[in-house]
Each structure stands twice: as C-alpha cells, then as structure tokens.
Amino acid sequence: MRFQWNRKAVIRCFIAVFGMGFFLSFLILCDLGTDPCTFMNRSIAAKIGWSFGNWQLLFNVCLILLVLLLKRSLIGFGTVFNMVLIGYYADFFCWLFRKIIPAEAFTNPVSRWPVFLVTLGGFIISAAVYITADMGVSPYDGLPIIITEKVTKHFPKIPPMVIRIAWDGAAILVGTLLGGIPIIGIILMALFLGPAITMVRKLGEKRFKNEKPPV
C-alpha cells in the first residue's frame, strides 16, 4: 500500500482530485462527453434515483475490495481521495454552476464547445498530476492494471492500451444499456484520454521526480 507520508505529494494529490471534480462538473454540464467511468456511474445513478456522488462512492467501495484482494500495492492516499471526493465535488459544483452561470453557456454551440475543450484540458492535467503524485490509483483504474498484468503474462503481444480501451468500452456499454446516451465526446475520451494523460504525466514526472514518495 502507498500510505507513506510525503506532505508535498499528499497535498498535490488532494489538489489534483479537487481539480478533477471541478473540471468534471463542467464536462457534465456541457453534456458533450465525460470519461467512461463517469458516464457509466451517472447512468446507473439516474436509473436507481441516487446522486452521482453517493453511487460513485458505493461503486468504488465495491471495486476497492477487489483491488485489495488482488494487488493492494495500488492502494494509497490518492485512492481514498479519488473514490470519496470526486463524485461529491462534481455534484457540488454542478449545483453551484447551475445557480450562478446562465444555462446558455452550456447549451449554446458557440460557448459549449470551447468550455468543453478547455475544461477537458484541465481535467487531463489534473489527472496527470494525480498520477505523478504516485499515491495510489482509483479503484476503477486499478482493475485494468491488474487485468493487464495477468493477460500479458500469458499473451505478451497484446498491447496494454488495447486492454484499457476494452475496459473503458465495457463501461460505456453498461452505461448505454442502462439508459445513457454515448455522445461522441465519450467515445473520443475512451480512445484518447489515456494517451493524453500519459503524455502530460511524462512532462509532470520530470518536474516532480525528486518529490515522489517511496513505494
């Protein structure tokens, strides 16, 4: 487990999770696509009549039990911050922005797409900072890592990115079957969000390489 105390890394991780929840609220309001996990969980939450934050927390609790059984070294402070806070941050900021920002900002094509693209960039940067803090992964991200290790052990020619795309594709399928509409932005994020985060993460690792906590 990655619960070794490193003050700078913990603070950076907490700020990154805050940023992910903040920018995710804009992506939700623009309704042009979110990450596959959010899409699936919002579809399930709407189906059962729960808030997004409450369902996401329960969903993550279920997944983290599997990660603890299979590879507990993936769990850390960042895992807890991610699984508990992002959904509630997104719920809060969606509520707040609906009150203080005109709805047209999220529905007018002239403003909708720029807001979506800018906040998508903010979400990617926040996610990359979260990863470079190296304080554990989210339960949703932990399982494809475990699956990749087991699959590539027997089938080394299968690219890890293919497994990740299949994992995200399954989340999109579940969300769609439960009433969600897979807007083009969701498909694009499933295909390109991982590589984009990897690219920004590499830049971040050069900046923070001397601050990473021991594993």
**DSSP string computed for 32-84:** S---HHHHHHHHHHHHHT--HHHHHHHHHHHHHHHHHHHHGGG-BHHHHHHHH
Note the pLDDT of residue 128.
81
Is the distance from CB of 19 to CB of 126 less than 8 angstroms?
A: yes
The pTM score is 0.84
Q: Which residue has the tokens 């769609």?
A: 176
Asked if pLDDT for residue 124 goes beyond 90, the answer is: no
Q: For residues 37 and 121, what is the distance between their CA atoms, to the nearest angstrom?
A: 18
82 — pLDDT class (breaks 50, 70, 90): very high
pLDDT tens-digit readout, 87-114: 999 999 999 999 999 999 999 989 999 9
Structure tokens at 159: 């690219």
Note the pLDDT of residue 60.
96
Strand boundaries in 84-201, DSSP class E: none
Q: For residues 16 and 3, what is the distance between their CA atoms, to the nearest angstrom?
A: 17
